[in-house]
Structure 1
Amino acid sequence: MTYCKVCSLGSDHPGIVVDEQRVCNVCRLDMVGDLLVNYRYTQEVFERFQHAGRNELGPYDCLFMYSGGKDSTYMLDKFTTEYGKRVLAWTFDVPFESTHAAENIRLAKERIPATFVVDADDDNIKKMMREVFNRPAPRKPGKYLDEKLPCVSCRTFFVIRAILHAHRNRIPYIALCADPQQILTMESNVREIVRGFYTTFGVGLTDELFRGEIEGLLFAEDDELPEIVFPFIAMRHTYDPDAIVAELKAKGLYASSPMETHCTLFPLLNYYSFTHWDCMFYKLNASSHVRAVKRNGGDGARSTFSLKFPGTLDVLEVEGRLKKVTLRIAKGEGTPQEHEAELVAAFRDLGTTETAARFVARSFLDMPAVAADMGIRLS
């Protein structure tokens, strides 16, 4: 495999082409056009949302997808205290949710004046995730973001659940708190989200998962469909994850670190990325950081992603260590003590606190048990 000399993305990474000068298509800005089209559409929807009056069809101006992570907690507080919107804080009770995210949700319910509602569908989301993880190895070269298919599928599942809830209850907008970097690669058009899910999972499984209800979204009138708003589009030049966490903790709304609110499938997401695409789950994000540091003359202070990485990060070296220990855990090799020490060191090198590194390391040790519970095969 050839690695980009700028950002370290490999030539086998889905959607990545490394040229004879050892520079990848992302560093060459070959993908900017498509990304900017999505950015412009997202900006237009956000501006419509900003200027929209009260929803005359119901008691809520927007359905706010609330996960308990720092971004959604920060923005939910802004929506209710500064934006003057009537908010339905909608949480999908993911069966693999972190205990830290659940604690943040509890704190928000005590302190934020929104209406909170919880949705759940454990059986169907687990069925979908089994199908993704247990598929045969995908054919290469793959498409951009293919290494994150399990995570993207999970998120799309509950985004569609949110769309259905908003559609039934005549709520015109859905707020989704992706960070500025995630916004670039996320579909925001409701019909395209539904079409994409059908493409990924087929008509039979899709209709089974959503009980035949989402087909109606494809044929609804435009003014009957909710629009998805990405609030952090307004902070794309000022987004600072450290400042967000500090403000939330000062208000008593956040009691952990971003790494501690990852779902319990995070180790399996890395396992999937390593076994199918030979990269860690956060490779695109880490490489984006490295690219920014080199272009800014060594200044890596600005971040458009929910986690910050050290300015001196050696992506390939940390990735290699993380791959080795992840696959050894999957094969049942080595001892928990050895694995924990290796994982803590790797995540400390990725810039996490000692507490967060130990929390994530222990979730990796639990990976075989979580896989068994989910019915996911570890080869």
Structure 2
Amino acid sequence: MTTCKVCSLNSEHPGISVDTAGLCNLCRLDIAGDLLVNYRYTSNVFHEFQHEKPNPDAPYDCLFMYSGGKDSTYMLDKFVNEYGKRVLAYTFDVPFESTHAADNIRLAREKIAADFVLDSDDVNIKKVMREVFNRPAPARPGSYLDEKLPCASCRTFFVLRAILHAFREGIPYVAMCADPQQILTMESNVREVVRGFYQSFGDRLTDEVFRGELEQVLFAEDDELPKIVFPFIAMRHEYDPDQIVAELKAKGLYESSPLETHCTLFPLLNYYAFKHWDCMFYKLNAASHVRAVKRSATGTERSTFSIKFPQVLNIVEIEEQLRRVTLQIAAGEGDRGEHLRELVSIFRGFDADEAAARFVAESFVDMPKVAADVGIRLP
């Protein structure tokens, strides 16, 4: 195993190769061509959406996927109060949602003049999560983002629910507020999102959890399908999560930290990544931070992701600590109190305050309960 001398990713990370000069393919920008194709498409769609006139035959200009996190709250406020869009704020009631995200949604409903709709399907989203987590070990060496498969599968499930809602109601755009780094690695074509789910889960499970409706999307005319909009594409260069949180708190639209709006599956996502790929869930994000800092002339440049990594953070040391504690909890080993103390220390290292660090730490020590509720097998 070799390690990239710039960003610390190793050659066993899915989708990563390290050359003889000690550089990984991300630092060499070997995937830049694919990212640029996606970037151009998403940029063109966002520009089209910004200049689109309201359709007099439709009640909404877009279905806005609203999670209650900082990014979606920030952009929902912009869509309504700056862009003047007629917005249907669509929230999928994920059974793993943080109570803090739910509190932010309540604030938005009180303060932002959009229509809100709540969708849910606990049975089927848990079925998809069981399928992902309980599968046999994936084949190595793996592909880029394979370590995030459970998260991507959960997100794709409710994205497809949103697409179906917009398709039924004739809403022309679906807005998704992933941060700029996520945008460049997400599928932006509606049909391809559908095809990707079929490829991941097969015809039987896909038709079962979506009741056969996705076939209508595959065979619809192009002008009948909604287009996916990534609003943060326009601010990819100045994206600043700290500033976003500060502005939202000043408006009374956000009362927590980004760590506190993580879903309750976050510990299990780390368990999956450590078990199958020997890396923490946020390893790519951490490597992106290291890459940005090392390539910055001032040493202060930030890359575009939601979680904050302090410049002095020792990523290798933190990852090793988190690996050990996560796998011990999953195996039912060690002392709960000691695990809690160590996890609080780890997340304080991410500049989280005491309350936020304790919130995430408690979700880790409660991981076996969440796994049992969903039907995920632990060792």
Q: What TM-score do the two structures reach when normalised by structure 2?
A: 0.99
Question: How far does residue 141 in structure 1 lie from its aligned partner after superposition?
Answer: 0.5
SS of the equivalent of 1:185 reads coil
Mapping of residues 161-172 of structure 1, within 5 Å: 161-172=161-172
* Distance in 1, Cα, partners of 2:200 & 2:243: 37
Question: How far does residue 326 in structure 1 lie from its aligned partner after superposition?
Answer: 0.2
| Contact 1:57/1:170 (<8 A) preserved | no
Paired residue for 2:330? 330
Paired residue for 1:267? 267
For structure 1, the residue ranges without an aligned partner over 5 or more in a row are none
Deviations 1:155-206 (A, max 9, x none): 0000000000000000000110011111110001000000000000000000
Paired residue for 2:139? 139
State percent identity of aligned pairs.
Answer: 74
* Distance in 1, Cα, partners of 2:154 & 2:88: 22
* Distance in 2, Cα, partners of 1:317 & 1:3: 15
* Distance in 1, Cα, partners of 2:133 & 2:123: 16
Question: How far does residue 132 in structure 1 lie from its aligned partner after superposition?
Answer: 0.2
* Distance in 2, Cα, partners of 1:149 & 1:298: 35
Mapping of residues 45-124 of structure 1, within 5 Å: 45-124=45-124
Paired residue for 1:13? 13
| Contact 2:288/2:303 (<8 A) preserved | no
Question: How far does residue 16 in structure 1 lie from its aligned partner after superposition?
Answer: 0.2
Provide the alpha-carbon RMSD of the alignment: 0.9
Paired residue for 1:188? 188
SS of the equivalent of 2:82 reads helix
Paired residue for 1:358? 358
SS of the equivalent of 1:101 reads helix
| Contact 2:292/2:301 (<8 A) preserved | no
Residue type at the aligned position of 1:177 = C
Residue type at the aligned position of 1:10 = N
Paired residue for 1:319? 319
Question: How far does residue 334 in structure 1 lie from its aligned partner after superposition?
Answer: 1.0
* Distance in 2, Cα, partners of 1:366 & 1:356: 16
Question: How far does residue 216 in structure 1 lie from its aligned partner after superposition?
Answer: 1.1
| Contact 2:4/2:18 (<8 A) preserved | yes
SS of the equivalent of 1:118 reads strand
Mapping of residues 165-244 of structure 1, within 5 Å: 165-244=165-244
Residue type at the aligned position of 1:98 = S
Alignment pair present for 1:149 and 2:149: yes
Deviations 1:4-34 (A, max 9, x none): 1110111111100011222111011111111
* Distance in 2, Cα, partners of 1:57 & 1:278: 52
Residue type at the aligned position of 2:286 = A
Residue type at the aligned position of 2:223 = D
Question: How far does residue 301 in structure 1 lie from its aligned partner after superposition?
Answer: 4.2
Paired residue for 1:343? 343
Paired residue for 1:2? 2
* Distance in 2, Cα, partners of 1:224 & 1:56: 16
SS of the equivalent of 1:26 reads coil
For structure 2, the residue ranges without an aligned partner over 5 or more in a row are none
Deviations 1:24-74 (A, max 9, x none): 110111111111110010000001101111123310010000000000000
* Distance in 2, Cα, partners of 1:351 & 1:149: 27
SS of the equivalent of 1:117 reads strand
Question: How far does residue 104 in structure 1 lie from its aligned partner after superposition?
Answer: 0.3
* Distance in 2, Cα, partners of 1:105 & 1:349: 28
* Distance in 2, Cα, partners of 1:208 & 1:292: 43
Equivalent pairs, count: 379
* Distance in 2, Cα, partners of 1:143 & 1:303: 22
| Contact 1:55/1:172 (<8 A) preserved | no
347-356 or 284-293: which moved more?
Answer: 347-356
Residue type at the aligned position of 1:212 = G
Paired residue for 1:308? 308
* Distance in 2, Cα, partners of 1:263 & 1:121: 16
Residue type at the aligned position of 2:169 = N
Question: How far does residue 298 in structure 1 lie from its aligned partner after superposition?
Answer: 5.1
Paired residue for 1:158? 158
Question: How far does residue 350 in structure 1 lie from its aligned partner after superposition?
Answer: 2.6
Paired residue for 2:257? 257
Residue type at the aligned position of 2:120 = A
364-373 or 21-30: which moved more?
Answer: 21-30
* Distance in 1, Cα, partners of 2:3 & 2:259: 27
Question: How far does residue 303 in structure 1 lie from its aligned partner after superposition?
Answer: 3.6
Question: How far does residue 349 in structure 1 lie from its aligned partner after superposition?
Answer: 1.9
Residue type at the aligned position of 2:60 = Y
* Distance in 1, Cα, partners of 2:65 & 2:320: 35
| Contact 1:16/1:25 (<8 A) preserved | yes
Paired residue for 2:41? 41
| Contact 2:104/2:254 (<8 A) preserved | yes
Q: What TM-score do the two structures reach when normalised by structure 1?
A: 0.99
Question: How far does residue 251 in structure 1 lie from its aligned partner after superposition?
Answer: 0.6
* Distance in 2, Cα, partners of 1:344 & 1:25: 34
